[in-house]
Chain A
Amino acid sequence: MAEHVAKSPALDVPPEPPAKRIKLSPQPKKQDADDSGPASPSATPLVADLAEQLDAQERNKYVKGKKLGSGQYADVFSAYLVTDPTQLVAIKKIKVGAEVKEMGISYDSLREIRFLQELDHPNIIKLYSVFSTKNQNLNLVLEQLPQGDLLKLIQDTQNISYTPADVKAWMLMLMRAVHFCHANFILHRDIKPNNLLIAANGEIKLADFGLARSFADPYQPMTYNTITIWYRPPELFFQAQFYGGAVDVWSCGAVFAELISRDVLFRAWPESEMNMVKLICEKVGTPTEENWPGVSKLKGYVTPTEIQPVRPKDYWLANFRTIGEIGVDLLMKMLTLDPKVRLSAEGVLKHEYWTSAPRPSKLEALPRKGGGIEVMGEDLKRRGGEVPGKENERGDKVARKIDFGAAK
């Protein structure tokens, strides 16, 4: 199998996402040196004809149903197979944006397709196939995840209560997904509770790969203007262009804290970068050369006027004591200022938190929105959001994955 999964010429993607997906901060001009200009959408007519036929065939396999939700750049519908109405999928219809006129296809969806087809993991949403419609609308056929997202659970403080063991189970699934991405050299760059969808059986699925990218080569700068602002790590506020998996680990740490306190950890208001840095200084500590060698060399670093020393363990314990001392230790190591010192996803999974008491909750014991035990019992019969009986065919729908050594 080839090490690059080759793709349609139309899938030749320009580098970083355009302004539309910029996460609430002004777009810096020309900051990406890897901005190599748009690639040519040069499908040969023959391929295009055939492709159109195939598209129609793929499209006609599904019956579209009610809307499941919509986001900044897509509407998501429920759908089922014509041949078997019990087989549910979700069709994510990409909204046509400005760049579509230019490119014929949206960057974000390309990222999403590109990475999702490479990743096959129980905690990462599955992409079954892709088709387009007349007006160049791109449709991703995804596994349907009918239980909403983690944000809905966190916010429903009236009806949903959960235990430290539940938090551990959710975080473990999240960290496995992130570790898997990193082990496959992919950065997600948009980890937050509403991108963590919940499958019928309670499994967490990392979704929305619209901002993902592969690890950069040395000297290949990346954008610092990524990750939803509340979940963005300090190095990106300081405009670092060479970064790694540590950015996702910070976001995971923020999700961890949010799960425990049921409130956003760094809720800057108004949502400016300056306020975010202020909040991070206040809650974690002020980044200095002492606690983060080299930080002052970063382009966006502002020499602080007053210094909040790095918060000690007691401070964290006072706020997050429900997860115990070991849990707090992990949380602090995920929210360490210096990305070199911050745990990697692998380091997080090696922490003793996971194996110490309490055991992470079993899937069936995890709280879920609405539908009581009865409904859940029904759901449990099906595995995940998987289309029953489709496992073997899936590989044929989506371009084949890279074989990363012996990833077993």
Chain B
Amino acid sequence: MSRLAQQKSSPVARRDGGAVRPPGDSLLTPQDGELPTRQMDRMSLSYSTHTDSPATEVCPVCKSTKYMNPNLKFLVNPVCYHKMCESCVDRLFSHGPAPCPIKGCSETLRKNRFRKQTFEDIKVEREVDIRKKVAQVFNRREEEFASLREYNDYLNDVEDITFNLINNIDIEETQRRFKNHEDKWKENIVENASLAQQEQMLYAEQQKAEREQAKRRREEARREEMEERKEAEATRRDMLRRLENGQDPEEVKKERAAVQLKKRQNRQDAANRQSQLKAADATNGSSSFVIKGLKNKKAKLEPEAPVDPFGGLTFEHSYFSLQDDYVWEGLREAKRDPLIAAGGYDIASFTGRALCEAFSGLGVMVADEAVERERLNEPETLSTTKAEIAAKDVKMEDPF
């Protein structure tokens, strides 16, 4: 396994001392967000003999082979990384979590966590998973550190932890460090993740905008070229026509030169305008550049309006205001009825609805409604549907 950051090395003894850990004694529970750490040792044992060519790959559960069944697809579950074929996964895990069928493996696996193997070597697959997980939690940014030195130290620690997890070294201590970091930086992790995502989005958007601009420019250039060619052709024909009509060749030549000068000037103006536009584009676009490479985290988060959970929606009743309680004979029983309360029926919502319905008629302008009805009956608005026609005529009791 590779170590990406080759910085100060940790004591050798620690690495050698990595004991084989019994499965299932991980600090983290087997859930999403779990570190795939277990069973590597046993797994590499049982699979070292099975890394044969894809054509002769055998499902360890049902013994199907690619040779017998060309559609055979293998899946792994990032809990124990035991490989099995898709139909075995369907058969064994469709009814909910079940134990891994590989002998000696007692992990409980869920169907929705099975996935295709991305890398041929299962060890690489697992290493990539671990690196992803670590990167998700250790996502502090350079700008959070006072000096480059401190940032490098941090990167070094991260690489140590990654290395240990991959190679099952000091696993308990390492997982504890992992978890400590995760707890301590919880909010920062979440914040940085969304920052990273925003940056990625912005970057992609900006790249797209650049591509579009380039395309626009190319099209513009092509259009100009065509126009120029057309113009040249037109002037040539015009000159010929005049010569045919017996005009003085010198005169024609002079006139043509004047026209061409004027046109060239026009084109020059247009080109100037274009480059000005281009410059303006570039400065506009540069705002996203700044965000992409920005060092200061604070500056990056432009002030945004606070989140309004209601999305600007308010429900104000123009004709009445609600009281907390209404003393009304019809409701007294309901208020006392334990059956009504226990199910969560809310009497206040009834009084609210009743009042709303009682008062909503006040907004009706009968004359407007009549005009509306007239309009609906005119032929050009016949596009209305069955429901609407009736909607204007039939008054319906609440049938539900």
Contact = CB atoms under 8 A, between A and B. Distances in A.
A246 B396 CA distance: 28
Interface residues of A, number: 117
B371 to A, nearest CB: 13
Given A3-B360, A349-B310, A365-B198, A218 B330 contact: yes
A58 B383 CA distance: 6
A61 B382 CA distance: 12
Nearest to B351: A218
A130 B385 contact: yes
B306 interface: yes
A328 to B, nearest CB: 12
B350 A262 contact: no
A6 B349 contact: no
Interface stretch (B45-53, B55-63, B184-192): B184-192
15 contacts: A3-B357, A6-B390, A6-B394, A7-B396, A9-B394, A51-B390, A163-B193, A218-B345, A219-B334, A244-B346, A267-B96, A294-B339, A297-B339, A344-B346, A405-B359
Interface residues of B, number: 83
A240 B343 contact: yes
B250 interface: no
A158 B115 contact: yes
Given A242-B344, A294-B342, A324-B187, 9 more contacts: A51-B385, A57-B383, A130-B385, A164-B193, A218-B334, A241-B343, A244-B349, A295-B342, A340-B344
Contacts of B32: 261-263
Contacts, number: 282
Contacts of A408: 313-314, 316
A54 B385 contact: yes
Interface stretch (B84-92, B222-230, B361-369): B361-369
B236 interface: no
A101 B329 CA distance: 43
B396 A263 contact: no
B341 A340 contact: yes
A183 B33 CA distance: 37
Given A172-B309, A218-B331, A350-B309, A297 B338 contact: yes
A106 to B, nearest CB: 14
A251 B309 CA distance: 19
A266 interface: no
Contacts of A399: 387-388, 391
A22 B96 CA distance: 23
A246 B344 contact: yes
B344 A269 contact: no
Contact of B190 (A344, A355, A358): A358
Interface stretch (B7-15, B64-72, B163-171, B200-208): B200-208
Contacts of B393: 6, 47
Interface stretch (A23-31, A64-72, A209-217): A209-217
Given A3-B357, A292-B342, A405 B390 contact: no
B342 A240 contact: yes
B346 to A, nearest CB: 4
B360 A404 contact: yes
Interface string A235-266: 10010111111110000000000000111000
Given A298-B339, A340-B341, A406-B317, A51 B386 contact: yes
Nearest to A154: B112
Contacts of A365: 194, 197-198, 201
A98 interface: no
B390 A12 contact: no
A324 B193 CA distance: 14
A404 B352 CA distance: 11
Nearest to B358: A3
B6 interface: no
B315 A319 contact: no
Most B CB atoms within 10 A — which of A179, A218, A295? Answer: A218
A296 B343 CA distance: 11
A87 B338 CA distance: 53
The secondary structure that dominates the A interface is loop
B400 to A, nearest CB: 5
A336 to B, nearest CB: 10
Contact of B194 (A36, A50, A358): A358
A350 B307 CA distance: 11
Interface string B374-394: 000000011111111111111
Interface in A90-130: 111, 113, 117, 122, 129-130
Interface in A351-375: 351, 354-355, 357-362, 364-365, 373-374
A318 B110 CA distance: 19
A163 B194 contact: yes
Interface in A305-352: 318-319, 321-322, 324, 338-340, 342, 344, 349-351
Nearest to B340: A242
Nearest to B183: A321
B386 A3 contact: no
A245 B349 contact: yes
Closest 8 CB pairs of A and B: A339-B344, A240-B343, A8-B390, A294-B342, A242-B345, A399-B391, A218-B334, A51-B386
Contacts of B346: 244-246, 340, 344
A342 B112 CA distance: 31
B201 A131 contact: no
Given A54-B382, A215-B349, A322-B33, A342 B344 contact: yes
A89 interface: no
Interface in B318-336: 318-319, 330-331, 334
Most A CB atoms within 10 A — which of B186, B352, B400? Answer: B400
A50 B376 CA distance: 13
A324 B322 CA distance: 36
Contacts of A213: 400
A352 B370 CA distance: 48
Given A11-B396, A215-B350, A405-B315, A361 B338 contact: no
Nearest to A55: B386
Contact of B191 (A43, A263, A357): A357
Given A47-B389, A132-B386, A263 B112 contact: yes
A277 interface: no
Nearest to B394: A6
A11 B400 CA distance: 11
Nearest to B353: A185
A398 B385 CA distance: 8
A293 B342 contact: yes
A157 B132 CA distance: 14
A217 B96 contact: no
A6 B391 contact: yes
B116 interface: yes
B399 to A, nearest CB: 5
A5 interface: yes
A8 B306 CA distance: 45
Most A CB atoms within 10 A — which of B204, B304, B339, B343? Answer: B343
A34 interface: yes
Most B CB atoms within 10 A — which of A34, A155, A242, A294? Answer: A242
Given A7-B396, A342-B344, A47 B390 contact: yes
